[in-house]
């Protein structure tokens, strides 16, 4: 393998990008994408004097299409292996969607002494699934529908998601970018169907409540109030109440994929929190 992979203790090769020097920023991508989803942020921050690092989750992108381990515990341990290899300290972890859960789990379970701050953008914590204890969540039928659509025709499903709710391109007056849609599809289709199918359970059924309670570093929670993928009322608004040192920033009318559609607004806000 090249120097752009780290091998985990269970033999999975995790691909990563590592650009620049300075304080490290570690980016955690959403389902079913790859490190490439952070292009707009990595280019911005490497030119601001930061070291920017992003990896492809196991089974995603260029990482090994392994059969097992598609759960948050393994995702967080994989990040720990990457951090150890790169000898990162004083790092700021930034996670989007499923990556927000992965980042929170890493910080809570493995990040002691190595993490300066955490940022969660459109993130899934504390719990997406509707349960007796989480009545505002989404019913299991929603996620079963994702699994069925993926198994029936992954290529079409991965076209429909970005063309519709992910970037808010289904909203009246939206400025639709075919390139953005195709790039989402490209990233998704690079990965393993098995990893993506099992990842739905990981992002929807993992309860991050105890992870959030354990995090004591300054944490910024950013969320669009028109997020059709991870509704804000059962995610960000609850997550910030569980954090010891959390701040919530809400973006009126912004979609789940606001890091791409509104990078011109989000990137300076990320920078302001990082520098604070």
Q: State residue 1's pLDDT score.
A: 43
Catalytic residue among 227, 234, 235, 262: 227
Of residues 201, 207, 221, the one with CA closest to residue 273: 221
Lookup: tokens for 153: 């025709």
- The whole-angstrom separation of Cα 268 and Cα 116 is 19
Q: What is the mean pLDDT of the chain?
A: 97
β-bridge partners, 226? none
Q: How far is CA 77 from CA 107, 181, 205, in A?
A: 11, 31, 18
Residue 3's pLDDT band (cuts 50, 70, 90): confident
Of residues 128, 71, 60, 140, the one with CA closest to residue 105: 71
- The whole-angstrom separation of Cα 140 and Cα 142 is 5
Instruction: State the Cα angle at 144 between 133 and 251, rounded to 5°.
Output: 65
Active site residue 227: yes
Q: Above 80 in pLDDT, residue 124?
A: yes
Averaged pLDDT for residues 135-162: 98
Catalytic residue among 70, 96, 196, 256: 256
Catalytic residue among 97, 192, 204, 235: 97
What string of DSSP letters covers 87-121? T--SEEEEEETHHHHHHHHHHHHH-TTTEEEEEEE
Active site residue 223: no
Averaged pLDDT for residues 201-207: 98
Percent of the chain with pLDDT over 90: 99
Starting at the earlier edge strand, list the strands of the sheet with 219-224. 5-7, 13-19, 51-55, 24-28, 91-96, 115-121, 219-224, 246-251
Q: State residue 2's pLDDT score.
A: 57
What string of DSSP letters covers 69-92? --SHHHHHHHHHHHHHHHT--SEE
Of residues 158, 161, 160, 162, the one with CA closest to residue 181: 162
- The whole-angstrom separation of Cα 231 and Cα 256 is 9
Active site residue 97: yes
What confidence tens digit (pLDDT) does each residue in 61-100 have?
999 999 999 999 999 999 999 999 999 999 999 999 999 9
What string of DSSP letters covers 161-177? HIIIIITTTTSTT----
- In the chain, the largest separation of any two C-alpha atoms, in whole Å, equals 49
């Amino acid at each position: 393998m090249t120097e752009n992979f780290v091998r985990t203790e269970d033999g999975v090769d995790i691909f990563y990008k590592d650009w620049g020097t300075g304080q490290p920023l570690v980016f955690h991508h959403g389902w079913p994408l790859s490190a490439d989803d952070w292009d707009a942020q990595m280019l911005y921050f490497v030119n601001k004097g930061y070291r920017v690092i992003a990896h492809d989750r196991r089974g995603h992108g260029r990482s090994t299409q392994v059969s097992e381990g598609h759960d948050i515990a393994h995702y967080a341990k994989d990040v720990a292996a990457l951090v150890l290899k790169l000898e990162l300290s004083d790092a700021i972890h930034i996670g989007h969607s499923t990556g927000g859960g992965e980042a929170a789990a890493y910080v809570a379970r493995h990040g002691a002494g190595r993490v300066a701050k955490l940022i969660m953008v459109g993130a899934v914590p504390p719990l997406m699934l509707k349960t007796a204890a989480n009545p505002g969540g989404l019913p299991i039928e929603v996620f079963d529908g994702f699994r069925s659509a993926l198994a029936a025709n992954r290529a079409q499903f991965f076209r429909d998601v970005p063309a519709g709710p992910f970037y808010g391109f289904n909203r009246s007056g939206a400025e639709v970018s075919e390139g953005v849609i195709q790039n989402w599809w490209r990233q998704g289709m690079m990965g393993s169907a098995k990893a993506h199918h099992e990842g739905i359970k990981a992002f929807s059924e993992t309860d991050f409540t105890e992870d959030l309670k354990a995090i004591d570093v300054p944490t910024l929670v950013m969320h669009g109030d028109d997020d059709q993928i991870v509704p804000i009322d059962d995610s960000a608004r609850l997550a910030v109440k569980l954090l010891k040192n959390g701040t919530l920033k809400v973006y009126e009318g912004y979609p789940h994929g606001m890091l791409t559609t509104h990078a011109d607004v989000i990137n300076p806000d990320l920078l302001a929190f990082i520098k604070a």
